[in-house]
Amino acid sequence: PASFAQARIWLDERIRFDPEKPQVAIYNMPFVYRLQSSHTLWIKQLLHALPLTVNKHPSLHTSLHFDTLKNLLTQRVITHKTKN
Protein backbone atom coordinates (compact mmCIF):
# COMPACT_ATOMS: atom_id res chain seq x y z
CA PRO A 1 0.00 0.00 0.00
CA ALA A 2 0.93 3.63 -0.36
CA SER A 3 2.24 5.57 2.62
CA PHE A 4 0.07 8.15 4.38
CA ALA A 5 2.18 10.93 2.82
CA GLN A 6 1.72 9.48 -0.67
CA ALA A 7 -2.02 9.11 -0.10
CA ARG A 8 -2.28 12.73 1.07
CA ILE A 9 -0.47 14.03 -2.01
CA TRP A 10 -2.50 11.79 -4.32
CA LEU A 11 -5.79 12.91 -2.76
CA ASP A 12 -4.74 16.57 -2.87
CA GLU A 13 -4.06 16.27 -6.61
CA ARG A 14 -7.46 14.63 -7.19
CA ILE A 15 -9.27 17.41 -5.31
CA ARG A 16 -7.39 20.37 -6.80
CA PHE A 17 -6.99 19.34 -10.44
CA ASP A 18 -9.37 18.28 -13.19
CA PRO A 19 -8.81 14.57 -13.97
CA GLU A 20 -9.81 15.18 -17.60
CA LYS A 21 -6.84 17.50 -18.17
CA PRO A 22 -3.17 16.52 -18.34
CA GLN A 23 -1.62 16.05 -14.93
CA VAL A 24 0.43 18.86 -13.45
CA ALA A 25 3.81 17.91 -12.04
CA ILE A 26 3.67 20.18 -9.00
CA TYR A 27 5.75 17.91 -6.78
CA ASN A 28 8.71 17.59 -9.13
CA MET A 29 11.93 19.15 -7.92
CA PRO A 30 13.84 20.66 -10.82
CA PHE A 31 17.58 20.82 -10.59
CA VAL A 32 19.79 23.11 -12.64
CA TYR A 33 23.52 22.74 -12.86
CA ARG A 34 25.52 25.47 -14.55
CA LEU A 35 28.65 24.33 -16.32
CA GLN A 36 31.67 26.54 -16.24
CA SER A 37 33.25 27.34 -19.59
CA SER A 38 36.23 25.17 -18.62
CA HIS A 39 34.01 22.11 -18.02
CA THR A 40 32.80 19.64 -20.61
CA LEU A 41 29.49 17.77 -20.57
CA TRP A 42 29.66 14.42 -22.30
CA ILE A 43 26.15 13.54 -23.48
CA LYS A 44 27.07 9.85 -23.81
CA GLN A 45 28.15 9.73 -20.15
CA LEU A 46 25.08 11.67 -19.04
CA LEU A 47 22.77 9.27 -20.91
CA HIS A 48 24.58 6.39 -19.23
CA ALA A 49 24.44 7.92 -15.73
CA LEU A 50 20.75 8.94 -15.67
CA PRO A 51 19.27 5.41 -15.90
CA LEU A 52 21.79 4.18 -13.32
CA THR A 53 20.68 6.89 -10.91
CA VAL A 54 16.97 6.26 -11.51
CA ASN A 55 17.37 2.49 -11.13
CA LYS A 56 19.34 2.91 -7.90
CA HIS A 57 16.54 4.85 -6.18
CA PRO A 58 13.09 3.14 -6.22
CA SER A 59 11.29 6.39 -5.43
CA LEU A 60 12.35 7.65 -8.85
CA HIS A 61 10.54 4.81 -10.61
CA THR A 62 7.45 4.31 -8.46
CA SER A 63 3.88 5.08 -9.47
CA LEU A 64 0.62 5.25 -7.51
CA HIS A 65 -2.55 3.39 -8.52
CA PHE A 66 -5.98 3.32 -6.91
CA ASP A 67 -7.51 -0.16 -6.72
CA THR A 68 -11.28 0.41 -6.93
CA LEU A 69 -12.08 -3.18 -5.92
CA LYS A 70 -10.07 -2.97 -2.69
CA ASN A 71 -10.64 0.78 -2.23
CA LEU A 72 -6.90 1.08 -1.62
CA LEU A 73 -4.12 3.27 -2.98
CA THR A 74 -1.08 1.19 -3.85
CA GLN A 75 2.39 1.98 -5.05
CA ARG A 76 4.13 0.07 -7.81
CA VAL A 77 7.85 0.07 -8.36
CA ILE A 78 8.33 -0.02 -12.11
CA THR A 79 11.02 -2.53 -12.99
CA HIS A 80 13.09 -2.55 -16.14
CA LYS A 81 10.87 -5.34 -17.52
CA THR A 82 7.63 -3.35 -17.01
CA LYS A 83 9.05 -0.14 -18.52
CA ASN A 84 9.07 -1.67 -22.00
pTM of the model: 0.62
> Which residue segment(s) compose the domain that 11 sits in?
1-16+40-84
Is there a domain that residue 35 lies in? Answer: no
Taking a C-beta distance cutoff of 8 angstroms, is the pair 2, 75 a contact?
yes
Write the pLDDT tens digit of every residue in 11-49.
888 888 877 777 777 777 788 888 888 888 899 999 999
What radius of gyration, in Å, describes the C-alpha atoms of the chain? Answer: 17
Is there a domain that residue 34 lies in? Answer: no
Asked if pLDDT for residue 70 goes beyond 60, the answer is: yes
Is there a domain that residue 29 lies in? Answer: no
Q: If residue 67 lies in a helix (H) or strand (E), which one and from where to where?
A: strand 62-67
Count of structural domains, the chain: 1
Is there a domain that residue 46 lies in? Answer: yes
Asked if pLDDT for residue 84 goes beyond 50, the answer is: no
